[in-house]
Amino acid sequence: MKKQKSIHSIGENAFFLLKEIAKAHPFLLVLVVSEIILGVVSPLFGIYLPSLAVKLVTESSDRAAILLKLGGFGLIYAAAAGLRQMASEGKYYLYNDMRNHFRFRLFYQSIDCDYRNIENKAGLTRYQRAMDSISGGDWSGTSRMLVSMIALITGTLCFVIYSGILTTLHPLIVLMLIVLSLCNLSLTKMAQAYEQHFKDEMAGLEQKIDYVEYTARDIHYGKDIRLYSMSDWFIEMRDMLADRSMRLQNRIKMRYFIVSCVNLLTHFLRNLITYGYLIYTVASGAIDIADFVLYFGAISGFSGFFETITSQYGNLNGANMQMNDLRSFLEITDETETENPAELPDSDRISIEFDHVWFSYDREAEPVLKDFSLRINAGEKLALVGVNGAGKTTIIKLLCGMYRPDQGTIRINGTDIRNFRKKDLYTLFSAVFQDIYIAPHTVAENVSMNMEAETDMQRVEACLEQTGLLKTIQSYPDSIHSQMTKLVHDGIMLSGGQQQKLLMARAVYKNAPVMILDEPTAALDPIAESETYENFHRLTTKKTVIYISHRLASTRFCDRILFLKDGAAVESGTHDELMRQGGEYAKMFEVQSHYYQKGGESNESAQ
């Protein structure tokens, strides 16, 4: 099982971020350090300059010397402030690339992690939250983490220096400033905890809104939406979701608003007491005008720095939550693989065995497979049939190693599949699934699933010829080099049946020893499906092949048919044997063939 550590402290995340920056953009680190040093030096100049000016004017009459001293300090101050600004702006500029760095890492993780980690709502929500942490430009969590970290370190260093200065005025002033600012900090933290409490609900709503908006503009659904006048329904659903999201956001914003009001009040109180005391000390002659100017600057600076510390600590907490969201997805660990992986069988003759396998997606729910056993001999053509939801695709996912059985063993040529590396195991299967995945690449690349430079073009043409699609593809000006889909390029669009032929060509091109057809023909009519299956049968005579269908006529030719019901094999035999048995298979076959004979169009009713 996965070992998940998703909550990291601010320190751990800051270290993680700096490590990533050092790897991807070392110059950004130089800017960060410069901004911190200059951020401490320039405000110090800022409060000493006016005090120095007062001191020089009151103690000396040499105007030239005064101007020289003040001009020199002024120049250094201006240079420090200017360089600090440059470091700060440069950091934003470079941080754009850092977001792309994380975006790439998320993309890589989503495409490479165990399938089971993303084929559920929790996985999708986790991905959505990780993406949120890098979306929103400079407001994204990872950007804010860096900005807040710099401000917090700068603020803390300045705070220590200014505390030293103000302690010489009165230590209680420092204490009072700290207490009031701590009140602000705890209030901000409460508001943030409130926001975090609704994070999952917000992410869920955003996911649904995205889905509705995506579906509304997806060309695959465009026809249905228009023909069935579904636009009102879509608009209503989007409005309802957007309204819920807005109300939730407003509740969160209201908390922040109340906290801001209380903070303003404490701010006013703080200024009243400190400036009042300072005026009293200068009026009583305890300090001179130059000291007054210095302390005045230090008090406004001190409040500012404590505010920076408290607010940036609050920001850092918020950014830290998003950093945790990012790392929570990046740190998804795949199931541990065996340290001494078994060699794959060196022959194409593959036998498969499910030995008393139990499996459920959700431990709380009813198992999908219950004590399921099956042996498929090398070269055998096996059909898995049964109603939707019987567990056919689950068997394939387990066989391909995308999920592991809760109990029982799956073997390939006698070896437990856990002993193979997952990436090795995948090479044993050419599967065509019901969900059609066409990449926005060329036809040739879609067949080889590789870049054109790495593709054997003659083999692509041979595979397309075998599945009956070559002529169609050759009718396009760029033939097999034509770009596909409208997602990225203005590429070609194939019909449902043609797409399925393309996927079969892909499976034939991969030429893996085990072929799987998992109802890729559901969009075809029964006769076309039957022809496609038989055509595929001819292309794969020597291989072990698993055919899945809920249309029983399509798999009659198979060596053996397994009829599945509620995750268990209830009948097994050839078509003729099962028909003679007169069990559930025979009944379903009779019902389906009755519909096909009465009217070819009504075949779906038999499902």
Closer to ligand ADP by Cβ: residue 398 or 492? 398
Strands (E), 227-275: none
Closer to ligand ADP by Cβ: residue 159 or 563? 563
Residues in contact with ligand ADP, shown as a per-residue x/- string from 61 to 80 under the rule CB under 6 A: --------------------
DSSP label of 484: B
Least distance from C-beta 549 to ligand ADP, angstroms? Answer: 10
Among 144, 392, 543, 560, binds ligand ADP (CB under 6 A): 392
Cβ-contact 446, 506 below 8 angstroms: yes
Among 42, 140, 184, 394, binds ligand ADP (CB under 6 A): 394
Compute the C-alpha angle 533/535/541, nearest 5°: 95
Closer to ligand ADP by Cβ: residue 384 or 514? 384
Structure tokens at 360: 């459920």
* Binding residues for ligand ADP restricted to 440-469, rule: CB under 6 A: none
d(CA 185, CA 1): 40
Residue 339 CB coordination number (10 Å): 5
Least distance from C-beta 552 to ligand ADP, angstroms? Answer: 14
Closer to ligand ADP by Cβ: residue 81 or 118? 118
Least distance from C-beta 117 to ligand ADP, angstroms? Answer: 11
Least distance from C-beta 569 to ligand ADP, angstroms? Answer: 12
Structure tokens at 71: 């001009």
Least distance from C-beta 383 to ligand ADP, angstroms? Answer: 13
- Residue 368 in the binding site for ligand ADP (CB under 6 A): yes
Closer to ligand ADP by Cβ: residue 115 or 557? 115
Nearest to 224, CA basis, from 212, 215, 235: 215
d(CA 145, CA 32): 12
The H-or-E segment that residue 461 falls in is helix 457-466
* Binding residues for ligand ADP restricted to 99-158, rule: CB under 6 A: 119-120
Contacts of 148 (CB under 8 A, 6+ apart): 312, 313, 315, 316, 319
Alpha carbon dihedral 596, 599, 605, 606, in 10-degree steps, equals -20
Interface stretch with ligand ADP, choices 78-86, 103-111, 169-177, 382-390 (CB under 6 A): 382-390
d(CA 324, CA 330): 10
Closer to ligand ADP by Cβ: residue 177 or 396? 396
Residue with tokens 């105007």: 63
Phi and psi at residue 590, to the nearest 5°: -60, -45
Residue with tokens 């049968």: 537
d(CA 574, CA 581): 11
The one-letter amino acid code at 506 reads: R
**39-56: burial string, b at 16+ Cβ within 10 Å, e else:** bbbbbbbebbbebbbbbb
Among 6, 60, 96, 388, binds ligand ADP (CB under 6 A): 388
DSSP 340-371: SPPPPPSSS---EEEEEEEE-SSTTSPPSEEE
3 state DSSP class of 175: helix
Interface stretch with ligand ADP, choices 323-331, 334-342, 390-398, 468-476 (CB under 6 A): 390-398
Closer to ligand ADP by Cβ: residue 2 or 19? 2
Least distance from C-beta 366 to ligand ADP, angstroms? Answer: 8
Least distance from C-beta 394 to ligand ADP, angstroms? Answer: 3
Least distance from C-beta 376 to ligand ADP, angstroms? Answer: 17
Closer to ligand ADP by Cβ: residue 119 or 534? 119
Among 361, 433, 476, 557, binds ligand ADP (CB under 6 A): 361
Closer to ligand ADP by Cβ: residue 390 or 507? 390
Least distance from C-beta 388 to ligand ADP, angstroms? Answer: 4
Cβ-contact 45, 73 below 8 angstroms: yes
Interface stretch with ligand ADP, choices 234-242, 284-292, 339-347, 388-396 (CB under 6 A): 388-396
Closer to ligand ADP by Cβ: residue 13 or 394? 394
- In the sheet that holds 352-359, the strands lie side by side as 369-376, 352-359, 407-412, 415-416
Phi and psi at residue 334, to the nearest 5°: -75, 160
- Residue 491 in the binding site for ligand ADP (CB under 6 A): no
Closer to ligand ADP by Cβ: residue 339 or 364? 364
Interface stretch with ligand ADP, choices 278-286, 318-326, 381-389, 495-503 (CB under 6 A): 381-389
Interface stretch with ligand ADP, choices 38-46, 236-244, 392-400, 507-515 (CB under 6 A): 392-400
The Cβ-side half-sphere exposure at 208, using a 13 Å CA radius, reads 16
- In the sheet that holds 544-549, the strands lie side by side as 429-432, 514-518, 544-549, 381-385, 560-565, 568-573
Least distance from C-beta 185 to ligand ADP, angstroms? Answer: 43
- Residue 51 in the binding site for ligand ADP (CB under 6 A): no
- Residue 391 in the binding site for ligand ADP (CB under 6 A): yes
- Residue 390 in the binding site for ligand ADP (CB under 6 A): yes
- Residue 483 in the binding site for ligand ADP (CB under 6 A): no
d(CA 332, CA 415): 28
Closer to ligand ADP by Cβ: residue 3 or 363? 363
Residue 381 CB coordination number (10 Å): 22
Residues in binding contact with ligand ADP, number by CB under 6 A: 12
Among 72, 164, 389, 600, binds ligand ADP (CB under 6 A): 389
List interacting residues with ligand ADP (CB under 6 A): 119-120, 361, 368, 386, 388-394
